Structure 1
């Protein structure tokens, strides 16, 4: 069923519809901000994960980013070509490859948290501090991210 076939206004009450619209708008705004850093959107979350914990395995990154292994591998190949990361063999397991930020990758990754905060502020500026906290809490519960 397309939104054109929905009874008037019901899409404005649909969690799925609203979350998709918000996600698309945020993705577009993020792509624009990342272009200013000459950074591919595909690399954003990987850089953030490595900034939080450098030296993760490719498999760990894929699990945290919910990406298939082939996509993680392709992204890491491109990031290595761009000089953002390097892969190193795990000293305790020959089959495991660890991923580390290069100096260039760390410099780029450190620019991302302020960019994210600014983007979040631009989307949430219509909410009070308490409303923002409540919204984040609700989304964490819906996504089962709370303890």
Structure 2
């Protein structure tokens, strides 16, 4: 049976169905690569989020990453035990915890980014570099449009 005959053609015509399966494949490949370092996807998200944005209030980090605030605490506990992040009282609001990368966390975030990029190239290996760039740009536009729409509802 050809690969096209495995899944129902009606579903293969739905972008949301394809995007969901593409996400599952990409998530699996990245999760496997991170597991070799003893990390999970939320740990990677925390480290790269802090590398991109700098120190953040704990609740702001959860919101930017799309993580449940109470779940974030557990992820932070794990990476803090490994010496990758530190938490301190936010000088602007003593009621808040501010999360920062340590030097080891910053170094690991850079290594993980390289690992993640390699895993993504592998899982999208059937596409050319230009096709991968186009795919990423199109997906980013959809995500950005959703972010704008959601911010209007909240703000």
> What's the TM-score once normalised by structure 2's chain length?
0.80
Task: Flag the structure with more relative contact order, 1 or 2, with Cα contacts below 8 A and sequence separation at least 6.
Answer: 2
Paired position in structure 2 for 1:137? 137
**CA positional deviation for 1:127:** 2.3
Paired position in structure 1 for 2:110? 110
In structure 2, runs of 5+ residues without a counterpart are: 1-6, 149-155
Paired position in structure 1 for 2:62? 62
Task: Flag the structure with higher helix content.
Answer: 2
CA deviation string 1:55-93 (max 9, x = no partner): 111111111111121111221122212222110111121
In structure 1, runs of 5+ residues without a counterpart are: 1-6
* Number of equivalenced pairs: 141
Q: In 1, Cα distance between the equivalents of 2:99 and 2:8? A: 50
**CA positional deviation for 1:131:** 2.2
Paired position in structure 2 for 1:96? 96
Q: In 1, Cα distance between the equivalents of 2:41 and 2:142? A: 25
Root mean square deviation, CA, Å:
2.1
Q: What SS class does the counterpart of residue 108 from structure 1 fall into?
A: helix
